[in-house]
Homo-oligomer: A and B are copies of this chain.
């Protein structure tokens, strides 16, 4: 993803050691507690589960205009408004039109921007979970989203919209609860990660796990954090988010003193990321992406939701063929599916950028 930063001020560290969610509009709600814990895919129980989220627009009287925005690996609840990571797509008069829709964007389970995750305090020990946080899946992310929707009085969504890991959540939601969604917008997301996708994540994780300051994930009360490992992980991931062409156009072989500009740029990307992300959350959420396998149990049954699937022609992380495969499987079981490959030079990051045809496609689909 592109490094948008979040808000205009540096986020403060929270007491639990995570990075605090920013934005005066960010709300928090406890959705699961000791009496009613979250039952994970693995069978493990988790409580409490607090979720940070933002909403934009107004829920209508029959609660029929709610749209969930599902964020990607390193996103947060601040999707729209100044500094919002999807502010080009979500807002008044924008393709996800908050004059019309009531938009909800939660920070993901396992994240570090206000929702319960590895940096949260484990009530059993009084210390941050670290690597004792349970493993979870995209299905579990959707479980928490559904609980949040229910808490807001929403039974059925007008739409769920997401790119990359966000698109995986939307797809899982539509597969598991097809009656709960009117429209599903799945952008630059595959049915499952490829061996190459996993390989890049494996290197990123190796970099974090082997950082001298990682201490088995228990670094929250220490002076130093595994910043070096996390920065290298981010530098690597960033390369996969942009197209070869866009890197070439932006930097080519230009130098700044002895160093190539592309090298300086990547180091900057790595450093900026440290201010807003937690290494343990990075480990957990990359694993969540890898465990995702939408059609592992065979083709889905009858699906009521209407689907829009979008790919970008220069996205080499989750290329057109991977997104088209999702469309083909859905179409084969009779689902109402539109698939669009969008021309954009920006690679995987295109889903975060105001690419005109892409935005028009989303607008038309949500307005149809």
Residue A336 is within 8 A (CB to CB) of chain B in the complex: no
Q: Measured between C-beta atoms, what is the minimum distance from A266 to chain B in Å?
A: 5
Decide if A203 touches B235 in the complex (CB within 8 Å).
yes
Comparing A150-158, A250-258, A323-331, the segment that makes contact with chain B is A250-258
Comparing A71-79, A159-167, A193-201, A358-366, the segment that makes contact with chain B is A193-201
What residues on B are CB-neighbors of A250 within 8 Å? Answer: 195
CA distance A199 to B266 in the complex (A): 7
CA distance A231 to B263 in the complex (A): 20
What residues on B are CB-neighbors of A193 within 8 Å? Answer: 253
> Contacts A202-B260, A232-B207 known; A195 to B253 CB distance under 8 Å?
yes
Residue A270 is within 8 A (CB to CB) of chain B in the complex: yes
Residue of B nearest to A296 (CB): B253
Decide if A206 touches B235 in the complex (CB within 8 Å).
yes
Residue A304 is within 8 A (CB to CB) of chain B in the complex: no
1/0 per residue A272-312: CB within 8 Å of B? 00000000000000000010010000000000000000000
Q: How large is the interface on A (under 10, 10 to 19, 20 to 34, 35 or more residues)?
A: 35 or more
Decide if A196 touches B248 in the complex (CB within 8 Å).
yes
Residue A353 is within 8 A (CB to CB) of chain B in the complex: no
CA distance A38 to B192 in the complex (A): 54
Decide if A194 touches B228 in the complex (CB within 8 Å).
no
> Contacts A192-B253, A253-B193, A293-B253 known; A262 to B198 CB distance under 8 Å?
yes
Decide if B199 touches A262 in the complex (CB within 8 Å).
yes
Q: Measured between C-beta atoms, what is the minimum distance from A248 to chain B in Å?
A: 5
Decide if B210 touches A253 in the complex (CB within 8 Å).
no
What residues on B are CB-neighbors of A247 within 8 Å? Answer: 194-196, 199
Residue A239 is within 8 A (CB to CB) of chain B in the complex: yes
> Contacts A236-B236, A253-B192, A293-B253 known; A262 to B231 CB distance under 8 Å?
no
What residues on B are CB-neighbors of A82 within 8 Å? Answer: none
Cβ contact of A202, chosen from B195, B244, B263, cutoff 8 A: B263
Cβ contact of A262, chosen from B202, B239, B262, cutoff 8 A: B202
Q: 19 A-B residue contacts at CB 8 Å?
A: A193-B253, A195-B251, A195-B260, A196-B239, A196-B248, A198-B253, A198-B262, A200-B239, A202-B235, A202-B260, A202-B262, A202-B263, A202-B266, A203-B239, A206-B231, A206-B266, A206-B270, A210-B231, A253-B293
Give 6 new A-B contacts, CB below 8 A, not counting A198-B260, A260-B290. Answer: A195-B262, A196-B239, A199-B239, A202-B263, A203-B235, A206-B267
Listed in ascending order, the chain A residues whose CB lies under 8 Å from chain B are 192-196, 198-200, 202-203, 205-207, 210, 212, 228, 231-232, 235-236, 239, 244, 247-248, 250-253, 260, 262-263, 266-267, 270, 290, 293
